[in-house]
Chain A
């Protein structure tokens, strides 16, 4: 069953087969997690959000229409949950934000990223690049940010992005291409992109 399309597995889940949720987890956890992780910059919180999404899938499986698509649905749930977490963070008192930032390594998930770099210097450079890239996305206007984040962190097509954000595919493409010059301007300040 693991190779079956989502619609078949959804039907199985709707009929009460709990193993089906395991297949959806195997299929989508990495891309969902990466999207949530880049959104929240918090490894544990990203894991919590993804767990929430899969549990919601289990609870609401009978309400889903097979043509709706499991992947866009899961991304929508994760996105809404991430937005809620960001809003919640903004409401936190400053002192709590300070303590939440104490474990920078944990937030960046450095301890969980396999150490495939040959030298510590190369690893620091890659970590700094990651931070700059994520910060460049975060600096975008909101409507561009969402599209770019889904494109770069989750490797989604514009059609899929359109379904998740409930916008036409062409609009998603336009937002992405309009975001590119803004990203380029930000990255040029770090000497990471060439001028056009």
Chain B
């Protein structure tokens, strides 16, 4: 009960005190307890790895993960084309061709070749492509995972069954 002794119980409080207490449905407890027996819930509660998975999945809604997968897939596709073009225009590919044609001198000139490759590599394009690839793989994996799971019966239509 509220600490009415520390407040003046006025006419407004009296009015709101007339708000009746509504009893929750009798099935509420039953539904919760039966949900806890669902394999997904039970295993999720038991295993820290599964709970971490729930945490990651919970960062976005299932639809959010789908959209992230689509967007990162598009970015990865575009990034790959961009990366390929940059590898060619920066001379990285021709440098690789030169190295593969002079494998004999690789041992003595490895430092020179390494620094040349490092200087020629299109790092920004590479980073964008790799990051989008990783995100795409993560998002599509989670999307497939969520779809494959038996849905927790938060769906109103299911919970209305009494």
Contact = CB atoms under 8 A, between A and B. Distances in A.
Interface in B101-159: 152, 154, 156, 159
B151 to A, nearest CB: 13
A30 B21 contact: yes
Given A112-B22, A129-B18, A18 B33 contact: yes
Q: Which 7 A-B pairs have the closest CB atoms?
A: A33-B24, A152-B16, A54-B32, A25-B29, A29-B24, A47-B25, A51-B32
A21 to B, nearest CB: 7
Interface size for chain B: under 10, 10 to 19, 20 to 34, or 35 or more residues?
35 or more
B36 A55 contact: yes
Contacts of B31: 51
A175 to B, nearest CB: 13
Interface of A: 16, 18, 21-22, 25-26, 29-30, 32-34, 37-38, 43-48, 50-52, 54-55, 58-61, 109, 112-114, 126, 129-130, 133-134, 151-153, 155-158, 180, 183-184, 187, 192-194
A32 B21 CA distance: 11
Given A51-B28, A58-B45, A156-B2, A30 B35 contact: no
B45 A59 contact: yes
Interface string B17-44: 0111111110111011101100001001
Contact of A47 (B16, B28, B45, B152): B28
Binding site of B, secondary structure by majority: helix, strand, loop or mixed? helix
Contacts of A113: 20, 22
Contact of A33 (B16, B22, B41): B22
Nearest to A57: B32
Given A51-B154, A152-B16, A22 B24 contact: no
B63 interface: no
A48 B19 contact: no
A29 B3 CA distance: 21
Nearest to A108: B22
A184 B12 CA distance: 7
Contacts of B12: 180, 183-184, 187, 193
Nearest to B44: A59
B159 A44 contact: yes
Contacts of B18: 126, 129, 133
Contact of A133 (B16, B25, B44): B16
B22 A48 contact: no
A112 B23 CA distance: 8
Contacts of B74: none
22 contacts: A16-B46, A22-B29, A25-B28, A30-B24, A44-B159, A47-B28, A51-B32, A55-B32, A55-B36, A58-B45, A59-B44, A59-B45, A60-B51, A112-B25, A126-B20, A133-B16, A155-B1, A156-B2, A180-B12, A187-B15, A193-B11, A194-B11
A112 B11 CA distance: 28
Given A44-B160, A58-B45, A157 B2 contact: yes
B70 interface: no
Contact of A26 (B10, B11, B20, B29): B29
Contacts of B45: 58-59, 61
B32 A34 contact: no
A58 B28 CA distance: 15
